[in-house]
Amino acid sequence: MFRKYLTIMSLFTISFYSLYSQADNIFSSFFGKKPGVAPVEDLLYLEECGVCHFPYQPGLLPAKSWEKMMNNLSLENHFGEDIVFDEQRIRKQLLNYMIVNAADNSSFKRSRKIMKSLSYNDAPLSILKTPYIRRKHSDIPQRLIIQPEVGTLSNCEACHKKASKGNYDDDQVRIPNSKLRYDDGD
């Protein structure tokens, strides 16, 4: 009797521990435990993409968006530029990095919020076209955006001084030539 009880308790304990550890991963992926978005740590990405513009974190868009952006037709007109990689291998490596770290594959809070704002089939080609990002910037007066120190909303580091580290926290926002702070509690 004791042996049977011990076996059942052992199986229960092992099953519970297994489910608990999986649940932690599932819940952290769904709700996002880490603040912000994952910072860019891939040297090839920094070298290839960061040479022309701010190296936007892959966690700011879903994988579908990065796939669309990195197809050959989109690269022929990448926001007004013609992007050509010396080798297809480079394009594939970059795309793989983007997909693995995309918002829908991230456990970071801001990435999860971006995904929640999108419909299932949405694949915006611009971070500024995601409903979450649009909402976060909707109250900023146009005069503060077009000023020379900012120029455009795609100039993240003008106001988000820790953007390169994946920190877009509202408490860190400093809009040049403005005493206004934007914090909608999100």
pLDDT at 165: 94
pLDDT at 136: 94
Q: What are phi and psi of 78, to 5 degrees?
A: -90, 90
CA distance 24 to 184: 29
Nearest to 131 by CA among 121, 144, 143, 117: 117
pLDDT at 78: 80
**pLDDT averaged over every residue in the chain:** 84
CA separation (Å) from 113 to 11, 14, 28, 110, 132? 38, 34, 13, 5, 7
CA distance 122 to 140: 25
Give percent of the chain above pLDDT 90: 56
pLDDT at 87: 81
pLDDT at 10: 61
Nearest to 60 by CA among 130, 122, 9: 130
Per-residue pLDDT of the chain (186 residues; tens, 9 = 90+): 667 666 666 666 665 555 544 444 444 444 547 889 999 999 999 998 888 899 999 999 999 999 998 887 777 778 877 778 778 888 899 999 999 999 999 999 999 999 999 999 899 999 999 999 999 999 999 999 999 999 999 999 999 999 999 999 988 899 999 876 554 444
CA distance 80 to 76: 8
CA distance 75 to 171: 35
pTM of the shown model? 0.76
> 171: Cβ–Cβ under 8 A, 6 or more apart, which residues?
183
pLDDT at 35: 84
